[in-house]
Amino acid sequence: MKIISIDLDRCVGCRSCEQACSMYGTGGFRRESSNIRVNIYPGERFISTLTCVQCETAVCLEICPSGALARSPETNAVVLDESRCVGCKMCLMSCPFGNIHFNTEKHVIQKCNLCDGEPRCVGFCMPRALNYLEVEEIPELRRAILDSKLRRCLVVRP
């Protein structure tokens, strides 16, 4: 089971992931049609990039009254069946991370489906902040990141 891991320390806010996601999904470059969103807060010097984490107990999937959301057996992603979605927005309201978006043209929701196992956002991430990893590998990556940070802090500068 793989998910997209985001290393916010590496993210430079280039928004390539948004463009790639939008291009793959709709063939255009509109930020609103992207499922990954980069929020940049210049005042706080902070960038937050968020995409669906494909929760194990997915509230969106449980609450969907039209049966439009289902767990994909191949990628374990929560995927949308657009023909069943009526745009009632219950999932939008229940997602604690705000990772479900609304497609105002088709009047259905849109969410990350991991591009059927080959996420485009990861492929186009220049600083390698996004990684498509097995869930078990992620703690290892986190430890490596923390290690390198500690090393930097502990170096005694002359």
Round to whole Å and give the CA distance between 140 and 38.
Answer: 25
Q: What's phi and psi for 46, nearest 5 deg?
A: -140, 135
CB 99 within 8 A of CB 52: yes
**How many H-runs (helices) and E-runs (strands) does the chain carry?**
5, 8
Round to whole Å and give the CA distance between 145 and 123.
Answer: 20
Taking CB under 8 A as the rule, does residue 46 contact other proteins?
A: yes
Count of residues of this chain found to bind other proteins when the rule CB under 8 A is applied: 37
User: What character string, x for contact with other proteins (CB under 8 A) and - otherwise, covers 54-93?
Assistant: --------xx-xxx--x-------------x-xxxxx-xx
- Under the phi-then-psi rule, with left for phi > 0, alpha for psi from -120 to 50, and beta for the rest, what region is 57? beta
Exactly one of 1, 28, 29, 41 binds other proteins (CB under 8 A); that residue is: 41
Nearer CB in complex with other proteins: 153/156: 153
Nearer CB in complex with other proteins: 27/42: 42
CB 7 within 8 A of CB 131: yes
**DSSP-derived secondary structure for 3-51:** EEEE-TTT-----HHHHHHHHHHHSS--GGG-SSEEEEETTTTEEEEE-
Exactly one of 28, 39, 135, 148 binds other proteins (CB under 8 A); that residue is: 39
Rounded to a whole number of angstroms, the minimum distance from the CB of residue 33 to other proteins is 10
Q: Which stretch binds other proteins (CB under 8 A): 21-29, 100-108, 118-126, 132-140?
A: 100-108
Taking CB under 8 A as the rule, does residue 44 contact other proteins?
A: yes
Nearer CB in complex with other proteins: 17/100: 100
Taking CB under 8 A as the rule, does residue 117 contact other proteins?
A: no
Round to whole Å and give the CA distance between 19 and 33.
Answer: 9
Question: Which residue ranges make up the site for other proteins (CB under 8 A)?
Answer: 8, 13, 31-32, 37, 39-42, 44-46, 48, 50, 62-63, 65-67, 70, 84, 86-90, 92-98, 100-102, 104
